[in-house]
């Protein structure tokens, strides 16, 4: 008997979630490999998350992605959380292991893979400045620390959120981490190797917005990264490129974190180029 889609369902829970592009790249990957899987985009209100996870179990779904506002709240509904995701306190991917649901976080891993494969940079021993202390920053900082970066300069407007991330990193990693209050234009340290915009500044439709960074401190050879996938070439990256920096867009991070989740669910290597092209077609 031909296998049905109901044995191979994955998807995303979020609110709002209608504009989430993940289904495009995952379904493109399934079709390219000729496997009968389907990715569903599902609107789940915060108060219904527990019921949604119960429904996922009942439908024998293979896995799920979590987006705003469910990445933290989902943890109490899972059987296990991977150690790195537990440190971050956030889950963006759930995989099934038999009857058990295990929480993972692929965001930081996707960033690292983009850094090493697309920019050709080994982060070990490097000095990094990260703008922002939200969820993306948390995942990236934890993975960078685990990858052996020497120092992280964390820049954020809110000291409270930054303090929580600083404490997390100091308690769980060996990285030298420092906080810089973002109350005026920030300069990039002269010895920094990598600059990461982990904020939403420049995200569509506010495509001309720029983080308040002194562009004169961006030098030739500095690796400048943006987590924003749409547009892939943000105004910030364009300006940094004009200064001679090596630029790394957020599209790679989005693709690779999805590819890591694809492998967790299917056991197959993801067709990364197919997934990237599918997203490029969407973003234009």
- 216 CB-near residues (< 8 Å, 6+ apart): 187
Q: Which neighbouring-strand residues pair with 65?
A: 12, 93
Compute, in degrees rounded to 10, the torsion defined by CA atoms 67, 107, 267, 98.
-50
Q: Specify the 3-state DSSP secondary structure of 269.
A: coil
Kindly provide the b/e burial profile for residues 244-259, where b requires at least 16 CB atoms within 10 angstroms of the residue's own CB: ebbbbbbbbbbbbbbb
Q: Which neighbouring-strand residues pair with 196?
A: 130, 225
215/169 Cα distance (integer angstroms): 28
Task: Give the start-end residues of each E strand in 89-204.
Answer: 93-97, 100-104, 127-131, 151-156, 176-181, 194-197
Extract the tokens encoding 195.
Answer: 């600059």
Active site residue 109: no
Is 212:193 a contact under the CB 8 Å cutoff? no
Is 142:173 a contact under the CB 8 Å cutoff? yes
Which position among 71, 126, 127, 181 bears the catalytic label? Answer: 71
Q: Which residues are catalytic?
A: 71
């Amino acid at each position: 008997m031909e296998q049905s889609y109901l044995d191979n369902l994955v998807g995303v829970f979020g609110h709002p979630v209608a504009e989430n592009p993940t289904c495009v790249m995952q379904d493109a990957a399934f079709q390219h490999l000729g496997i009968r899987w389907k990715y569903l985009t599902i609107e789940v209100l915060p108060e219904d998350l527990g019921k949604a996870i119960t429904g996922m179990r009942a439908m024998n779904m293979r896995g799920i992605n979590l987006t705003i506002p469910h990445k933290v709240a989902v943890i109490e509904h899972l059987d296990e959380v991977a150690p790195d995701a537990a440190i971050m306190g956030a889950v963006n991917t759930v995989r099934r292991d038999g009857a058990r649901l295990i929480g993972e976080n692929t965001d930081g891993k996707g960033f690292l893979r983009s850094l090493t494969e697309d920019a050709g940079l080994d982060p070990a021993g490097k000095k990094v400045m990260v703008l922002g202390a939200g969820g993306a920053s948390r995942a990236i900082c934890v993975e960078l620390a685990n990858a052996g970066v020497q120092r992280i300069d964390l820049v954020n407007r809110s000291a409270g959120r930054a303090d929580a991330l600083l404490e997390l990193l100091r308690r769980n990693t060996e990285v030298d981490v420092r906080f810089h209050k973002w109350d005026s234009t920030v300069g990039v340290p002269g010895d920094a190797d990598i600059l990461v915009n982990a904020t939403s500044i420049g995200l569509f439709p506010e495509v001309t917005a720029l983080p308040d960074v002194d562009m004169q401190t961006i030098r030739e050879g500095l690796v400048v990264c943006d987590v924003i996938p749409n547009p892939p070439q943000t105004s910030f990256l364009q300006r940094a490129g004009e200064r001679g920096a090596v630029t790394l867009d957020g599209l790679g991070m989005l693709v690779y974190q999805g590819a890591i989740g694809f492998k967790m669910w299917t056991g197959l290597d993801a067709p990364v180029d197919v997934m990237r092209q599918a997203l490029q077609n969407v973003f234009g």
